[in-house]
Amino acid sequence: MMIKLNLNGKSVSADVAEDSLLIDFLREHGCYSVKRGCETSNCGLCTVFLDGKPVLSCSLLTVRADGKTVHTLEGLQKEAEEFGAFIARQGAEQCGFCNPGMIMNAIAMFRENPDPTDEEILEYLAGNLCRCSGYEGQLRGIRAFLDYKKSKGETAICNM
């Protein structure tokens, strides 16, 4: 069936199968940051924003995105670049496979709660699994990023 959505600021129309999942549609449209991890709706690797809210694209029918706005990591360049580079410099992760989903959900958290406590960070990011780090590295990196932004008198959120 025909759908029309806004993908990373561009209007996209497409004829999609009724059981097509959003993750496959996004990858077909060049958004390779969106990856399939667990296939059980648990790992958060496929996180995208649907009308500004983080959702699992592996579990959402593409037809349900009809008329909506979808953002992937590719569409959040400025916010993602600064935060991603900071996390990398901090050595906050190891293999980086979980990184796209983790960055997306961290940005969602910054927008919802610009000054989270450590406990709030752990709770918000509980849906992003990392098999390397035990999450301590990510927590330290995010904390350091928030403290760095605060020291500059800025919030973690960049204007899109």
Partner 1 sequence: MLTIKKYVKAASLDEAYELNQKRTNRVIGGMLWLKMSSGTVQTAIDLSGLGLDTIEETDEEFSIGAMVPLRDLELHAGLNAYTHGAMRESLRHIVGVQFRNLATVGGSLYGRFGFSDVLTCFLGLDAVVELHHGGMVPIKEFAAQKPDRDILVRIHVKKTPLRCAYLSQRNTKTDFPVLACMVSEWDGTLRVSIGARPQKASLIELPKDLMPENASLEEIASYVQEHTVTGSNMRASAAYRSRLAYVLTKRACQQIGGMDK
How far apart are alpha carbons 62 and 19 in whole angstroms? 8
List 23, 31, 34, 60, residue binding partner 1 (CB under 8 A): 60
Closest CA to 95 of 45, 26, 55: 45
Nearer to partner 1, 30 or 67 (CB): 67
**Least distance to partner 1, CB of residue 47, Å:** 5
Residue type, 55: V
For residues 15 to 54, the per-residue mask of contacts with partner 1, x marking binding by CB under 8 A and - elsewhere, is ---xx--------------------xxx-x--x--x--xx
Nearer to partner 1, 117 or 150 (CB): 117
Q: Got the DSSP string for 97-125?
A: TTHHHHHHHHHHHHHH-SS--HHHHHHHG
List 34, 76, 125, 130, residue binding partner 1 (CB under 8 A): 125
Residue 4 Cα distances to 49, 62, 66, angstroms: 16, 10, 5
| Residues near partner 1 (CB under 8 A) | 1, 18-19, 40-42, 44, 47, 50, 53-56, 59-61, 63-64, 105, 108-109, 123-128
